[in-house]
Protein backbone atom coordinates (compact mmCIF):
# COMPACT_ATOMS: atom_id res chain seq x y z
CA UNK A 1 0.00 0.00 0.00
CA UNK A 2 1.32 3.47 -0.96
CA UNK A 3 2.26 5.93 1.75
CA UNK A 4 -0.49 8.38 2.65
CA UNK A 5 0.91 11.89 2.63
CA UNK A 6 -2.25 13.77 3.58
CA UNK A 7 -4.87 12.36 5.92
CA UNK A 8 -8.09 14.23 6.71
CA UNK A 9 -10.45 12.87 9.36
CA UNK A 10 -13.93 14.20 10.09
CA UNK A 11 -13.16 17.85 9.34
CA UNK A 12 -15.75 20.47 10.34
CA UNK A 13 -15.95 24.24 9.87
CA UNK A 14 -18.93 26.56 10.36
CA UNK A 15 -19.35 30.27 9.76
CA UNK A 16 -22.09 31.42 12.11
CA UNK A 17 -24.93 28.96 11.47
CA UNK A 18 -23.65 27.86 8.06
CA UNK A 19 -21.79 24.55 7.99
CA UNK A 20 -19.23 25.11 5.25
CA UNK A 21 -17.41 21.81 5.80
CA UNK A 22 -19.30 19.02 7.50
CA UNK A 23 -17.39 15.85 8.35
CA UNK A 24 -14.96 15.61 5.45
CA UNK A 25 -12.54 12.66 5.47
CA UNK A 26 -10.12 11.52 2.79
CA UNK A 27 -6.47 10.65 2.27
CA UNK A 28 -4.02 11.39 -0.54
CA UNK A 29 -1.13 9.13 -1.38
CA UNK A 30 2.34 10.43 -1.90
CA UNK A 31 2.90 11.46 -5.52
CA UNK A 32 -0.82 11.42 -6.32
CA UNK A 33 -2.85 14.09 -8.09
CA UNK A 34 -6.12 14.16 -6.19
CA UNK A 35 -9.11 16.07 -7.55
CA UNK A 36 -11.57 17.83 -5.28
CA UNK A 37 -14.65 18.73 -7.31
CA UNK A 38 -17.91 20.36 -6.44
CA UNK A 39 -20.28 23.16 -7.36
CA UNK A 40 -19.75 26.70 -6.08
CA UNK A 41 -20.17 26.86 -2.32
CA UNK A 42 -19.59 23.13 -1.87
CA UNK A 43 -16.78 23.76 0.65
CA UNK A 44 -13.70 23.03 -1.50
CA UNK A 45 -11.91 26.32 -0.88
CA UNK A 46 -12.75 26.29 2.84
CA UNK A 47 -11.27 22.78 3.03
CA UNK A 48 -8.08 23.93 1.30
CA UNK A 49 -7.82 26.97 3.55
CA UNK A 50 -7.98 24.71 6.59
CA UNK A 51 -5.47 22.23 5.16
CA UNK A 52 -3.07 25.10 4.38
CA UNK A 53 -3.36 26.36 8.01
CA UNK A 54 -5.05 29.65 7.12
CA UNK A 55 -8.32 28.69 8.81
CA UNK A 56 -8.63 26.76 12.05
CA UNK A 57 -11.00 23.78 11.85
CA UNK A 58 -13.82 23.60 14.41
CA UNK A 59 -13.05 19.93 14.81
CA UNK A 60 -11.37 17.04 13.02
CA UNK A 61 -7.81 16.06 12.42
CA UNK A 62 -5.46 16.74 9.52
CA UNK A 63 -1.99 15.27 9.20
CA UNK A 64 0.33 16.36 6.39
CA UNK A 65 3.67 14.63 5.91
CA UNK A 66 3.40 13.33 9.47
CA UNK A 67 2.66 16.78 10.97
CA UNK A 68 -0.66 17.72 12.54
CA UNK A 69 -1.98 21.09 11.34
CA UNK A 70 -3.10 21.84 14.90
CA UNK A 71 0.06 20.92 16.78
CA UNK A 72 2.71 21.71 14.15
CA UNK A 73 1.33 24.32 11.77
CA UNK A 74 4.80 25.76 11.12
CA UNK A 75 6.13 22.34 10.09
CA UNK A 76 3.13 21.93 7.80
CA UNK A 77 3.72 25.33 6.20
CA UNK A 78 7.32 24.38 5.47
CA UNK A 79 6.22 21.49 3.21
CA UNK A 80 3.20 22.93 1.41
CA UNK A 81 2.71 25.29 -1.50
CA UNK A 82 -0.57 27.03 -2.29
CA UNK A 83 -1.79 28.35 -5.61
CA UNK A 84 -4.96 30.26 -4.66
CA UNK A 85 -8.01 30.55 -6.86
CA UNK A 86 -7.66 34.33 -7.15
CA UNK A 87 -4.40 35.82 -8.38
CA UNK A 88 -2.24 36.67 -5.37
CA UNK A 89 0.63 38.70 -6.80
CA UNK A 90 2.34 42.05 -6.34
CA UNK A 91 1.42 43.53 -9.71
CA UNK A 92 3.75 46.51 -9.32
CA UNK A 93 6.76 44.20 -8.98
CA UNK A 94 8.46 42.11 -11.64
CA UNK A 95 7.79 38.39 -11.99
CA UNK A 96 11.28 37.68 -10.65
CA UNK A 97 10.85 40.00 -7.65
CA UNK A 98 7.54 38.31 -6.79
CA UNK A 99 9.10 34.88 -6.93
CA UNK A 100 12.24 35.78 -5.02
CA UNK A 101 10.14 37.40 -2.29
CA UNK A 102 7.91 34.36 -1.86
CA UNK A 103 10.99 32.16 -2.08
CA UNK A 104 12.43 34.04 0.89
CA UNK A 105 9.16 33.53 2.72
CA UNK A 106 9.48 29.81 1.97
CA UNK A 107 12.85 29.76 3.70
CA UNK A 108 15.26 30.06 0.77
CA UNK A 109 18.28 32.34 0.86
CA UNK A 110 18.69 35.00 -1.81
CA UNK A 111 20.81 32.91 -4.14
CA UNK A 112 18.58 29.84 -3.86
CA UNK A 113 15.45 31.92 -4.34
CA UNK A 114 16.85 33.53 -7.48
CA UNK A 115 17.99 30.19 -8.92
CA UNK A 116 14.65 28.50 -8.22
CA UNK A 117 12.73 31.48 -9.56
CA UNK A 118 14.57 31.32 -12.89
CA UNK A 119 14.07 27.55 -13.03
CA UNK A 120 10.31 27.84 -12.49
CA UNK A 121 9.99 30.77 -14.86
CA UNK A 122 11.64 28.63 -17.51
CA UNK A 123 9.19 25.85 -16.73
CA UNK A 124 6.34 28.29 -17.29
CA UNK A 125 7.88 29.74 -20.45
CA UNK A 126 8.34 33.16 -18.86
CA UNK A 127 12.12 33.53 -18.57
CA UNK A 128 12.22 36.36 -21.06
CA UNK A 129 9.61 38.27 -19.07
CA UNK A 130 11.33 37.67 -15.73
CA UNK A 131 12.01 41.36 -15.19
CA UNK A 132 8.74 42.56 -16.65
CA UNK A 133 6.22 44.18 -14.34
CA UNK A 134 3.39 41.71 -13.62
CA UNK A 135 0.71 44.37 -14.16
CA UNK A 136 1.65 44.34 -17.84
CA UNK A 137 1.23 40.55 -18.20
CA UNK A 138 -1.73 38.84 -19.89
CA UNK A 139 -4.21 36.85 -17.81
CA UNK A 140 -2.57 33.56 -18.81
CA UNK A 141 0.89 34.78 -17.87
CA UNK A 142 -0.36 35.95 -14.49
CA UNK A 143 -1.94 32.53 -13.88
CA UNK A 144 1.37 30.85 -14.71
CA UNK A 145 3.25 33.18 -12.33
CA UNK A 146 0.60 32.48 -9.69
CA UNK A 147 1.37 28.78 -10.02
CA UNK A 148 5.14 29.27 -10.25
CA UNK A 149 5.13 31.14 -6.92
CA UNK A 150 3.46 28.15 -5.26
CA UNK A 151 6.45 26.03 -6.35
CA UNK A 152 9.02 28.21 -4.57
CA UNK A 153 10.75 26.29 -1.81
CA UNK A 154 9.94 22.97 -3.56
CA UNK A 155 6.92 21.97 -1.48
CA UNK A 156 6.06 18.31 -1.02
CA UNK A 157 2.31 18.95 -1.15
CA UNK A 158 0.81 21.43 -3.59
CA UNK A 159 -2.70 22.88 -3.28
CA UNK A 160 -3.99 24.06 -6.65
CA UNK A 161 -7.33 25.85 -6.35
CA UNK A 162 -8.72 26.23 -9.86
CA UNK A 163 -5.40 27.22 -11.41
CA UNK A 164 -6.67 27.36 -15.01
CA UNK A 165 -9.65 29.71 -14.67
CA UNK A 166 -10.03 32.17 -17.53
CA UNK A 167 -6.93 31.40 -19.58
CA UNK A 168 -6.32 30.36 -23.18
CA UNK A 169 -5.76 26.71 -24.25
CA UNK A 170 -2.02 27.25 -24.69
CA UNK A 171 -1.50 28.50 -21.14
CA UNK A 172 -3.80 25.78 -19.82
CA UNK A 173 -1.82 23.13 -21.66
CA UNK A 174 1.41 24.54 -20.25
CA UNK A 175 -0.04 24.27 -16.74
CA UNK A 176 -1.18 20.66 -17.34
CA UNK A 177 2.29 19.68 -18.48
CA UNK A 178 3.84 21.40 -15.49
CA UNK A 179 1.50 19.59 -13.09
CA UNK A 180 2.26 16.20 -14.64
CA UNK A 181 5.97 16.96 -14.47
CA UNK A 182 5.66 17.78 -10.77
CA UNK A 183 3.78 14.58 -10.09
CA UNK A 184 6.49 12.60 -11.93
CA UNK A 185 9.02 14.14 -9.57
CA UNK A 186 7.06 12.84 -6.57
CA UNK A 187 5.06 15.91 -5.60
CA UNK A 188 1.63 15.29 -4.08
CA UNK A 189 -1.09 17.54 -5.50
CA UNK A 190 -4.58 18.45 -4.33
CA UNK A 191 -6.41 19.91 -7.29
CA UNK A 192 -9.76 21.66 -7.45
CA UNK A 193 -11.43 22.61 -10.71
CA UNK A 194 -14.77 23.16 -12.37
CA UNK A 195 -13.47 21.68 -15.61
CA UNK A 196 -14.45 17.98 -15.41
CA UNK A 197 -12.42 17.02 -18.45
CA UNK A 198 -9.37 18.52 -16.78
CA UNK A 199 -9.92 16.43 -13.64
CA UNK A 200 -10.48 13.32 -15.78
CA UNK A 201 -7.15 13.87 -17.60
CA UNK A 202 -5.01 14.79 -14.62
CA UNK A 203 -6.31 13.16 -11.44
CA UNK A 204 -5.77 9.57 -10.33
CA UNK A 205 -8.69 9.88 -7.93
CA UNK A 206 -11.48 12.37 -7.56
CA UNK A 207 -13.72 13.35 -4.65
CA UNK A 208 -16.98 15.17 -5.36
CA UNK A 209 -18.14 17.54 -2.61
CA UNK A 210 -21.53 19.10 -2.11
CA UNK A 211 -23.00 21.00 0.82
CA UNK A 212 -19.79 20.61 2.83
CA UNK A 213 -19.60 16.83 2.46
CA UNK A 214 -17.81 14.37 0.19
CA UNK A 215 -20.54 12.50 -1.62
CA UNK A 216 -18.32 10.17 -3.62
CA UNK A 217 -14.61 9.39 -4.01
CA UNK A 218 -12.99 7.10 -6.57
CA UNK A 219 -11.00 7.02 -9.78
CA UNK A 220 -12.62 8.89 -12.68
CA UNK A 221 -13.15 5.59 -14.52
CA UNK A 222 -14.87 3.96 -11.54
CA UNK A 223 -17.07 7.02 -11.03
CA UNK A 224 -18.13 6.97 -14.65
CA UNK A 225 -18.86 3.25 -14.51
CA UNK A 226 -21.40 3.95 -11.74
CA UNK A 227 -23.77 5.50 -14.28
CA UNK A 228 -22.82 3.78 -17.55
CA UNK A 229 -19.99 2.72 -19.80
CA UNK A 230 -16.82 4.62 -18.84
CA UNK A 231 -16.05 5.17 -22.52
CA UNK A 232 -19.41 6.74 -23.25
CA UNK A 233 -20.23 8.87 -20.21
CA UNK A 234 -18.19 11.82 -18.99
CA UNK A 235 -17.17 12.89 -15.52
CA UNK A 236 -19.49 15.85 -16.00
CA UNK A 237 -22.42 13.46 -16.37
CA UNK A 238 -21.45 11.88 -13.06
CA UNK A 239 -21.03 15.29 -11.44
CA UNK A 240 -24.45 16.53 -12.57
CA UNK A 241 -26.15 13.31 -11.60
CA UNK A 242 -24.70 13.47 -8.09
CA UNK A 243 -24.98 17.20 -7.42
CA UNK A 244 -28.13 17.95 -9.41
CA UNK A 245 -28.83 20.51 -12.14
CA UNK A 246 -30.16 23.36 -10.01
CA UNK A 247 -28.16 26.62 -10.05
CA UNK A 248 -26.00 27.25 -6.98
CA UNK A 249 -25.11 30.96 -7.24
User: Rule CB under 8 A: is residue 101 a binding residue for another protein?
Assistant: yes
166 forms part of the interface with another protein (CB under 8 A): no
Classify strands 67-68 and 59-64 as parallel, antiparallel or unpaired: antiparallel
The answer to the question of residue 105 lying near another protein (CB under 8 A) is yes
Report how far apart, in Å, the C-alpha atoms of 174 and of each of 32, 96, 122, 132 are.
19, 19, 11, 20
Nearer to another protein among residue 75 and residue 127 (C-beta):
75
Q: Using the rule CB under 8 A, is 74 a contact of another protein?
A: yes
The two beta strands, 205-210 and 213-218, are: antiparallel
Nearer to another protein, 104 or 201 (CB): 104
User: Which residues, in sequence order, are CB contacts of 106 under 8 Å at separation 6+?
Assistant: 78, 81, 113, 152, 153, 155
Q: Which residues contact 95 (CB under 8 A, 6 or more apart)?
A: 121, 126, 129, 130, 131, 132, 134, 137, 145, 148
60 forms part of the interface with another protein (CB under 8 A): no
215 near another protein, judged by CB under 8 A: no
Stretch that binds another protein, among 63-71, 91-99, 118-126, 224-232 (CB under 8 A): 91-99
- Residue 82 or 217: the one with the smaller Cβ distance to another protein is 82
Using the minimum distance from each CB to another protein, give the nearer residue, 93 or 240: 93
The CA-CA-CA angle for residues 19, 22, 27, to 5°, reads 145
Question: To the nearest whole angstrom, how small is the minimum distance from the Cβ of residue 136 to another protein?
Answer: 13
Q: Can you tell me whether residue 221 is helix, strand or coil?
A: helix
Residue ranges in contact with another protein by CB under 8 A: 13, 15, 49, 52-56, 74, 77-78, 80-82, 84, 86-93, 97, 101-102, 104-107, 149, 153
Amino acid sequence: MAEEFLVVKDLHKSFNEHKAVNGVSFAIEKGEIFGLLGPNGAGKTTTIRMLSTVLEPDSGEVVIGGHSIRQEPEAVRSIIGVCPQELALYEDLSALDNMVFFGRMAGLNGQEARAQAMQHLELMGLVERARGRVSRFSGGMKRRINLAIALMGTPRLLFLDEPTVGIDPQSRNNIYETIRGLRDRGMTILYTTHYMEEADRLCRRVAIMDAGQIITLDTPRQLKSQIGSPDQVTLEDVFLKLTGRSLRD
